[in-house]
Amino acid sequence: MAQDTQQAELSRHILELKRKHGAVILVHLYQRPEIQDLGDFVGDSLGLSRQAAASDAGVIVFCGVHFMAESAAILSPDKIVLLPELRAGCPMADMVTAEDLIAKKRELPGVPVVCYVNSSAAVKAESDICCTSRNAVQVVDSVPGDTVLFVPDRNLANYIGTKTNKKVIAWDGFCATHDNITAAEVLRARREHPDALVMVHPECRPEVVALADHVLSTSGMLRLARGSAAREFIVGTEQGILHQLTRQNPEKVFHLPNSKKQYCPNMKKTTLPKLAWALERLEPRITVPEPVRVRAATALERMLAISGKRAGND
């Protein structure tokens, strides 16, 4: 109870600071419930990029991981972009560096590079276009030629390869949170909940994706759960999404194939005290050197032009 009161006081303090600075709080669906509850917008990577591009707030507080705040800074260079916990990185994004990508491009002259938004600004700057899990197939289909190099997620690359006529050359990166979900765990969950629909994120392994009824981005999962007549779902992504799934569908039941593994430690690094600290000091700020920013912005803007700039989750 004392902890609840403390959380409520801290949340009120954060909202006062937000108003004082004219800030907007953007929150990814894997964040802690108490952080999601403070978001002006809670969504997937595409929705958050759109919000960052469209927002007229002077301060954007990004509750997510580093590449997400960096994308906001790339798209809105005149705004203050805060990442409450600077060490909240994405290990998969770190699996490709700009130097390695430049070397690979030399081996594959003329092959367009599509980079998952889970990548650094420097990698985006070396890429032709970005994508998120929601628009990846649409983006790959939009680039010229019959082959693309896709970085850094091998599982998403594999999934796109099953949905496009193009050859998708995959970088060997992966997200441990998703890659650790096994087919055996999904099959067991199906046996235990035979009426449940299985929805998984395309960062899961091919054999897990093959078992799914639906392969969706995080916001796609929310849309499916709201619109479907099904009452039970098996959810193959990070457990933070259960906060919105259960809030939006109190009468439905959501199961995780392995709740211990379906946890992104980096997403959980943002806490109420850190968010308050960031808004009190307007630090830590995320900035991108201008020559890199300009090139990375081209890759992100191309994606937004293809999949729609409209702010929101649809």
Which residues contact ligand 13P (rule: CB under 6 A)? Answer: 29, 44-45, 118, 132-133, 175, 201, 203, 217-218
Q: Which does 217 bind (CB under 5 to 8 A by kind): ligand SF4, ligand 13P, none?
A: ligand 13P
Confirm if 253 and 232 have CB atoms less than 8 A apart.
yes
Q: Which does 235 bind (CB under 5 to 8 A by kind): ligand SF4, ligand 13P, none?
A: none
Size, binding site for ligand SF4 by CB under 6 A: 12
Q: Does 238 bind ligand SF4 (CB under 6 A)?
A: yes
Q: Which does 133 bind (CB under 5 to 8 A by kind): ligand SF4, ligand 13P, none?
A: ligand 13P
Q: Does 264 bind ligand SF4 (CB under 6 A)?
A: yes
59-88 positions binding ligand SF4, by CB under 6 A: 65
**In terms of CB distance, is 57 or 116 closer to ligand SF4?**
116
Q: Does 46 bind ligand SF4 (CB under 6 A)?
A: no
**In terms of CB distance, is 29 or 74 closer to ligand 13P?**
29
**In terms of CB distance, is 127 or 237 closer to ligand SF4?**
237
User: Nearest 5°: phi and psi at 180?
Assistant: -80, -10
90-129 positions binding ligand SF4, by CB under 6 A: 90-92, 118
**In terms of CB distance, is 18 or 66 closer to ligand SF4?**
66
Q: Which does 91 bind (CB under 5 to 8 A by kind): ligand 13P, ligand SF4, none?
A: ligand SF4
Q: Which does 266 bind (CB under 5 to 8 A by kind): ligand 13P, ligand SF4, none?
A: ligand SF4
Per-residue three-class SS string for the chain: CHHHHHHHHHHHHHHHHHHHHCEEEEEECCCCHHHHCCCCEEECHHHHHHHHHHCCCCEEEEECCHHHHHHHHHHCCCCEEECCCCCCCCCCHHHCCHHHHHHHHHHCCCCCEEEECCCCHHHHHCCCEEECCCCHHHHHHHCCCCEEEEECEHHHHHHHHCCCCCEEEECCECCHHHHCCCHHHHHHHHHHCCCCEEEECCCCCHHHHCCCCEECCHHHHHHHHHHCCCCEEEEECCHHHHHHHHHHCCCCEEECCCCCCCCCCCHHHCCHHHHHHHHHHCCCECCCCHHHHHHHHHHHHHHHHHHCCCCCCC
Closest separation in Å from C-beta 159 to ligand 13P: 12
Q: Does 135 bind ligand SF4 (CB under 6 A)?
A: no
> What gap in Å lies between CA 149 and CA 113, rounded to an integer?
5
Closest separation in Å from C-beta 92 to ligand SF4: 5
**In terms of CB distance, is 217 or 244 closer to ligand 13P?**
217
Binding footprint of ligand SF4 on the chain (CB under 6 A):
65, 90-92, 118, 175, 177, 203, 238, 264, 266-267
